[in-house]
Structure 1
Amino acid sequence: MTDANPSPPTEATSRADTVEPLPVSTVADLAATVTENVGQVIVGHTDEIEHVVTTILARGHVLLDDVPGVGKTMLARSIARSVDCSFRRVQFTPDLLPSDITGVNVFNQKTREFEFQPGPVFANLVLGDEINRAPPKTQSALLEAMEEAQVTVDGTTRPLPDPFVVIATQNAIEPNRTYELPFAEVDRFMKKLSLGYPNTDEESELLARTVGHHPIESLDPVTNLESIIRARETVATVAVEEPVRRYASKLAKYTRERAHIGASPRGTIALLRAAQARAVLDGREYVIPDDIQHEVPYVFSHRIKTTSSGRDTDGDTIVEDALDHVHVP
């Protein structure tokens, strides 16, 4: 892993048609290896680690929303250390500017020309720590990056490294000291996850691992960037037949009919991509309804607003009702 700014990918290396997919079994083993490696640091959250891994394979971004001190940032750092790729961390604060994220043009006295100094967004994996501590204007600097894997500064558009993944953490308390994320940004996160507190046994094990040297200090990469790119191509080739696509669409329609804002078409696309990754982890080259049902609570719930104002509180309930009432093909 390196913290250096990578050079933008060339057209030849970023084309999907030049990427040879890995066998499904190989990708399943890769995901299990990364999950196990991160599990050396993060205790008792195997499912959540797996969800982050599947999101990366599905070309998505993750929002970790929970109280302070439960391991959100450590989970993101552990994922980054497990993959030999470029990694940058942005600590979001009230005085952070959009240019602090995307980069800025600086005048070079020697050449008498402006030179672009790339911001921390130019990395394969970007950790946005406590993203809701920055005002919406700064948060919006990530909108183009998360949707199109590029940033535009002073009229010039520059591609981001491939792959490009944002793992953001959000403080779930102190509402008077944080900003609510713009809904357009929330919709760009494929999944929203919470870790929760460990049980007594898990916390005891956590303490045993961390009272001396922290295990993340000795965590080594278990895969490389090329393998991740090829694994993502494998996931992209997983078959999604018409009945499964229609099932996902009906679930989305159910949320739209019962909320002020339901799951967007972007959310339905994210659901199918997440289901493709889930299918690969189970060793299949095709998606089944079980994959949709496994992923939909994490993909749809944060996209649902039940009223025109205030935070969404019933997204989980609406998704549960959709799973109960929408016919399974």
Structure 2
Amino acid sequence: MTTRVQPGRADLDAAHRVVAAVSAAFGQKVVGQDDLRESLLVGLLAGGHVLLESVPGLAKTTAAKVLAESVGGRFQRIQCTPDLLPSDIIGTQIYEAATGRFTTRLGPVHANVVLLDEINRSSAKTQSAMLEAMEERQTTIAGEVHALADPFLVIATQNPIDQEGTYPLSEAQSDRFLIKEVLRYPTVQEEVEVMLRIDAGVYANRSRSQAVVGLEDVVRVQQIAAAVHMDPVLMRYAGEIVAATRVPGRSLPQHLARVVECGASPRATIALCRCARAVAVLAGRNHVIPDDIARVAHRVLRHRIMLGFEAGTTGVRSDDVVDAVLHGVRIP
């Protein structure tokens, strides 16, 4: 069994410089959306993927592009449509008439930051191909394995309003995303700030964000985050939070317990621990505290708790269930 070396002050200072630089670059293009910024940073540090839900126009594409540019990574945007094929994402073989041979052409998933725009508009077969690449960190084309980039971050978006012609993610597929962030409308003042920046040319096509750190810096910070100390007592706390969603009758009020059809999987416990470590790094600590777990609980659990039909008729959301779980589980 390998013992992790807890990050020292020099490691944390180096991580802080990287995070601060990326965060500042993000703020130059994206107005407000502090929760989105934190979720993307947590996903980047924890080495997981992020699912975003919002109505159109809330800077999801801009955020993903700025994140990629700020770390000097390659960015690819995939617009998901019903006719999108798996080969359009992972790549395929092309016959070259001049040589009489097939050559491999890698798909857009071979990038550092991949934006899957409106993932629920692609077919289940295409979703599965993408999610397999996310899980295995590789693609297979004509029997040949191609490793994905490192670091590798998928940011998928879905529109919760228009469900016509969509293929909602199954529970097993949603579970592959480390966290899910729900974006809110900006304030009036934030929208005014967006208009001012448009007039100033901040969002012009030629105005590309400068790389403020390198990909090797991101990999190093990921290693630091993975080595953050987490006491077994806190691991148990994370496990108890997840377990409470599986037997809601024991820890939730009756009106919430009866609408929960299925609780979160063991991936949720793993995700809570990984995200809590990332939050600790963002806070400049080399150890996890209970508040770190609570801070990411909604993002980790909201897409992993299945609610029944009654939840829709009574207005109960998965976030309400998470609130009750956090209130019902004793903090160590």
| In the alignment, structure 1 residue 294 sits paired with structure 2 residue 282 | no
Post-superposition offset of 1:114:
2.5
* Residue aligning to 1:273: 274
- The letter of the residue matching 1:166 is V
8 Å CA contact 1:133–1:178 kept in 2: the answer is yes
State TM-score, norm by structure 2.
0.88
| C-alpha contact (below 8 Å) 1:65/1:172 kept by paired residues | yes
Confirm or deny that 1:228 pairs with 2:218: yes
Counterpart CA distance in 1 for 2:102 and 2:21 is 45
Q: State whether residues 25 and 280 of structure 1, in contact with CA within 8 Å, keep that contact through their aligned partners in structure 2.
A: no
How many Å apart are 1:34 and its aligned residue? 1.0
Q: Distance in 2 between matches of 1:316 and 1:47?
A: 15
Q: 2:39 aligns with which of 51, 54, 63?
A: 51
- Residues 46/90 of structure 1: CA separation in 2 closer, same or farther (3 Å cut): same
Please state how far the C-alpha of 1:111 moved relative to its aligned partner. 3.9
How far apart, CA to CA, are the structure 1 residues paired with 2:109 and 2:304? 24
Contact 1:305 1:313 in 2 (8 A): no
SS of the residue aligned with 2:139? strand
Residue 294 of structure 2 corresponds to residue 306 of structure 1:
no
Question: Within the alignment, does 1:148 sit opposite 2:136 as a pair?
Answer: yes
- Give the TM-score normalised by structure 1: 0.89
Q: Tell me, yes or no, if the aligned pair for 2:68 and 2:112 is still in contact at 8 Å.
A: no
- Match for residue 207 of structure 1 among 175, 195, 198: 195
SS of 2:93 mapped into structure 1: strand
Q: Contact 1:86–1:124 (CA<8 Å) still a contact in 2?
A: yes
Residue 215 (structure 1) shift? 3.4
Tell me, in whole angstroms, the C-alpha distance in 2 between the residues paired with 1:309 and 1:88.
39
**Mind listing any 5+ residue stretches in structure 1 that lack a counterpart?**
1-16
How many matched pairs?
Answer: 311
Paired residues of 1:35 and 1:46 also in contact (CA < 8 A): no
Give the deviation of 1:23 after TM superposition: 0.6
Q: What pairs up with 1:1-329 in 2 under 5 angstroms? A: 23-215=11-203, 217-258=207-248, 259-307=260-308, 314-329=317-332
CA deviations 1:34-85 (Å, max 9, x no partner) are 1121111111112320221121110011111100111111111111121101
Give the Cα separation in 2 of the matches to 1:288 and 1:179: 39
User: Matches of 1:325 and 1:92 in 2, distance apart?
Assistant: 40
Match of 2:256 in 1: none
* Structure-2 separation of matches of 1:183 and 1:154: 29
Deviation of 1:308 after TM superposition, in Å, equals 8.0
2:80–2:120: 8 Å Cα contact kept in structure 1? yes
Q: Secondary structure at the match of 2:272?
A: helix
Q: Distance in 2 between matches of 1:36 and 1:68?
A: 24
What residue number does 1:10 align with? none
Deviation per CA, 1:117-149: give whole Å up to 9, x if none.
110111111111121111111111112111121
The offset of 1:228, in angstroms, is 0.3
Separation in 1, partners of 2:90, 2:188: 42
Give CA deviations for 1:245-291 in whole Å, capped at 9, x if unaligned. Answer: 00000000001112322111112111111100101111111111111
Identity of aligned residues (%): 43
Q: Structure 2 unaligned runs (5+)?
A: 249-259
* Alpha-carbon contact 1:275-1:295 (below 8 Å) kept: yes
Q: Decide whether the 8 Å contact of 1:63 with 1:189 is kept in 2.
A: yes
CA distance in 2, matches of 1:58, 1:257: 28
